Amino acid sequence: MPQERTVGGDFTVSVEVTAPIMNAVKSDCVDDTVNYAVITDIVRQEMAFPSALLEHVAGRIAERLFQTFPSIEKIWVEVRKENPPMGADCKGAGVRAYFVR
Show which residues are catalytic: 81
- C-alpha to C-alpha distance for 18 and 44, rounded to whole angstroms: 20
The candidate with the shortest Cα–Cα distance to 58, out of 81, 36, 37, 35, is: 81
> CA separation (Å) from 23 to 20, 66, 70, 75?
8, 19, 14, 20
In sequence order, which residues have a C-beta less than 8 Å from that of residue 10 and are 6 or more positions away? 81, 82, 83
